[in-house]
Copies of this chain bind each other. A is one copy, B any other.
Amino acid sequence: MRNNFRSLALSAALIAPAAAHANGDVAWDILAGLTSEVGPRMPGSEAEARARVWAEARLKALGFSSVVVEPFTIRGYVRGRDEASLVAPIPFRLAVTALGYSGDTPDKGIAADVVYFPTLDALKAAPDGSLAGKIAFIDHAMKRNQDGSGYGPYGQVRRAGPAIASGKGAVGVVIRSIGTDSHRNPHTGGTTFPEGVKPIPAGAVSNPDADLIARIAASGKPIRIALTLTGKTTEGLPSGNVIGDLPGRDPTLPPILLGCHLDSWDLGTGAIDDAAGCAIVTAAALKVQEGGQPLRTIRVLWAGSEELGGFGGKAYAQKHGEPHALAMESDFGAGRVWRVNTNFWTSNKPLADRIATALAPMGIVRGTGPVEGGTDVEPMIEKQKLAVVDLNQDGTYYFDLHHTPDDTLDKVDPADLAQNVAAWTAVLKIVANEAGALTPAP
């Protein structure tokens, strides 16, 4: 309600870019460039291909070496026309988005009576066949928290709900957006129909729309929805990773791998998800180099097609057999870093202590939890059992914007972005200059 995005928008959009150039603000330039010069970058799209061209040129211009594009193909989702309306008890045009890998409706859409489920468990409990000819509506509002831990459980509504509804005979499914805002912007994201389950049209409506549906359901009036989602799941679309190195003084030492993803959903311009991540890791790597060439090579991986299933991270791990030393990723927006977690073995305790000490003046606390890595580096972490440093960002407001039309440049606070770069720079300076083995706990 009392947001100040508008003033941020003004400062960010009208002032910061000029200042950024003057100050050599690499992070802001990457963020503004990807969002304004490329725009949305859907996995497998022409736009993602333009983003790779942009990224390759930008990394070269910034002084990275061995800049390469490593292509792969994906099973993609090509968005069509997304429309939904209440037909009864009142006519109302809903703010809807198709989920990735949604089944498709005919061009003229479908209309069906709605069965309302307050939770995913309620849907699971519905008898087999009970949804024949119906559209299932799954409510189940996400709760806001700092560490993003709600995305796992609440996200199941989106990831698994449509297939469950299909299994019970539904002809379509509409969910409350997996998000914590209350704007008329729906949250997209991928869903999954396992082998043998018929893909059905699957959309998400904005939270205010879901509130309205919930109120009508509570009143006991029958609900009917018309749904038109004409997008298509499409095999063999081109994608790729863009990779660049800042060579270390000792090229025989395994590199530090920094992940982010170049692709984005198509509703906004992918500012917080994940142009900000690529901006942060790349700017931090360059800042370390500016302070003196580090011992180890720092590699940035701007992965492709993360949003539809982490294709880029998998392709990287499959292609790369050379040893890596440690992996980190930035893919949780541009909120301030508040905690650090590492998975070092006791042999690296002094290193972990130095990292915590370097971050403490920024108010970043030391966590005791497990590390997560990130979708784009996880396959390589798994494959080579890598050491990991997680810089956890404040995600209290991340799911207000995540996968929505509102994921735009003005939502990034330049000061928060700079704090991320500073935290990453502090960590990278330590790990990239560590001569000894970087060993994860078993």
Chain A 194-207, CB-CB to B under 8 Å as 1, else 0, gives 00000000000001
Contacts of A23 in B (CB 8 A): none
The reply to whether A411 and B17 contact each other, CB–CB distance below 8 Å, is no
Interchain nearest-CB distance for A388 vs B (Å): 30
Chain A 166-185, CB-CB to B under 8 Å as 1, else 0, gives 00000000000000111111
The reply to whether A39 and B1 contact each other, CB–CB distance below 8 Å, is no
Q: How many copies does the complex hold?
A: 2
Interchain nearest-CB distance for A146 vs B (Å): 13
The reply to whether A92 and B400 contact each other, CB–CB distance below 8 Å, is no
Contacts of A181 in B (CB 8 A): 3, 5-6
Of A208-216, A252-260, A356-364, A365-373, the one contacting chain B is: A208-216
Interchain nearest-CB distance for A350 vs B (Å): 39
CA distance A35 to B37 in the complex (A): 40
CA distance A89 to B47 in the complex (A): 12
A408 within 8 A of B: yes
A379 within 8 A of B: no
Contact of A409 among B3, B14, B37, B211 (CB under 8 A): B211
Interchain nearest-CB distance for A147 vs B (Å): 17
Interchain nearest-CB distance for A373 vs B (Å): 27
Closest to A206 in B: B405
**Looking at chain A, what size class is its interface with the partner chain?**
35 or more
Contact of A17 among B50, B215, B408 (CB under 8 A): B215
The reply to whether A90 and B38 contact each other, CB–CB distance below 8 Å, is yes
Contacts of A268 in B (CB 8 A): 184
A410 within 8 A of B: yes
The reply to whether A91 and B182 contact each other, CB–CB distance below 8 Å, is no
A154 within 8 A of B: no
The reply to whether A13 and B214 contact each other, CB–CB distance below 8 Å, is yes
CA distance A248 to B36 in the complex (A): 63
The reply to whether A184 and B90 contact each other, CB–CB distance below 8 Å, is no
CA distance A8 to B92 in the complex (A): 22
Contacts of A89 in B (CB 8 A): 37
Contacts of A214 in B (CB 8 A): 13-14
A95 within 8 A of B: yes
Interchain nearest-CB distance for A204 vs B (Å): 15
The reply to whether B1 and A207 contact each other, CB–CB distance below 8 Å, is no
CA distance A184 to B141 in the complex (A): 22
Q: With A3-B1, A91-B47 known to touch, is A183 a contact of B183 (CB < 8 Å)? A: yes
The reply to whether A207 and B9 contact each other, CB–CB distance below 8 Å, is yes
Contact of A6 among B91, B180, B404, B405 (CB under 8 A): B180
A40 within 8 A of B: yes
Contacts of A72 in B (CB 8 A): none
Q: With A183-B183, A208-B408 known to touch, is A36 a contact of B269 (CB < 8 Å)? A: no
Can you give 18 A-B contacts (C-beta < 8 A)? A1-B397, A1-B411, A2-B3, A3-B3, A6-B400, A7-B144, A10-B141, A13-B214, A17-B218, A32-B215, A36-B215, A37-B90, A182-B408, A184-B268, A184-B406, A185-B185, A208-B410, A212-B408
* Residues of A bordering B, CB below 8 Å: 1-10, 13-14, 17, 32, 35-40, 47, 50, 86, 89-92, 95, 141, 144, 180-185, 207-208, 211-212, 214-216, 218-219, 267-269, 397, 400, 404-406, 408-411, 413
Further pairs besides A6-B144, A9-B182, A208-B406: 15, Cβ < 8 Å:
A1-B5, A2-B3, A3-B400, A10-B141, A36-B212, A36-B215, A36-B216, A40-B92, A95-B405, A182-B410, A184-B267, A184-B405, A208-B408, A208-B409, A211-B410
